[in-house]
């Protein structure tokens, strides 16, 4: 797969009719994430909501990347991480355009989630996480719908590669 093509070829491929479906997947992932975060921010900003013995809704603001890794108070580092995330999203979009159908679906799922979290990094300077999975006193990292899309896409990609090889 030759990703480094001319800008005009990339534009032509970008606007192919078949790619509309994959951009719809991206849009759906982004909108599901935004809707969930809007509701959580509006309704649960000061309290935790108990669902059952394994799941709580508890709003936390993540300034790091996935699951709070690389959290920092440094504006420079935060902005550099945000720039890297932006470059990764653009790169994945270019890869999506040049990929086969099954890979396009996977990349679309990942990009939809990544755009949701990137939007929050730009608008709020942090990502709202609110799904708290736990078992007794063990709590997994708090996460959001965008993280679910990103993780699902990566897992599907890894499974596809394992089956292929």
What are the φ/ψ torsions at residue 138 (nearest 5 degrees)?
-90, 120
Q: Which of 58, 120, 132, 147 is catalytic?
A: 147
Chain-centroid distance of CA 31 in Å reads 12
CA 153 from centre of chain:
9
114: tokens are 């990544």
Q: How many CB atoms lie within 10 A of CB 46?
A: 6
Residue 129: active-site member: yes
Task: Count the helix, strand and coil residues of the chain and give each as a percent rounded to the nearest 5.
Answer: 65, 15, 25
Are 61 and 124 a contacting pair, CB within 8 Å?
yes
CA distance 140 to 138: 7
Catalytic choice (33, 58, 120, 129) = 129
Which residues are catalytically annotated? 129, 147
């Amino acid at each position: 797969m030759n990703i480094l093509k001319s800008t005009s070829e990339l534009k032509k491929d970008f606007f192919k009719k078949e790619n509309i479906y994959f951009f719809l997947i991206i849009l759906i992932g982004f909108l599901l994430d935004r809707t969930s975060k809007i509701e959580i921010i509006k309704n649960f900003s000061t309290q935790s909501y108990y669902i059952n013995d394994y799941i709580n809704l508890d709003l936390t603001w993540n300034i790091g990347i996935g699951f709070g890794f690389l959290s920092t108070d440094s504006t420079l580092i935060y902005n550099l991480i945000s720039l890297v995330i932006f470059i990764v999203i653009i790169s994945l979009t270019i890869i999506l355009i040049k990929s086969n159908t099954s890979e396009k679906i996977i990349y679309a799922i990942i990009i939809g989630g990544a755009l949701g979290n990137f939007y929050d990094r730009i608008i709020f300077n942090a990502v709202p996480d609110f799904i708290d999975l736990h078992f007794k006193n063990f709590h997994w990292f708090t996460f959001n719908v965008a993280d679910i899309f990103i993780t699902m896409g990566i897992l599907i990609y890894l499974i596809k590669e394992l089956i292929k090889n």
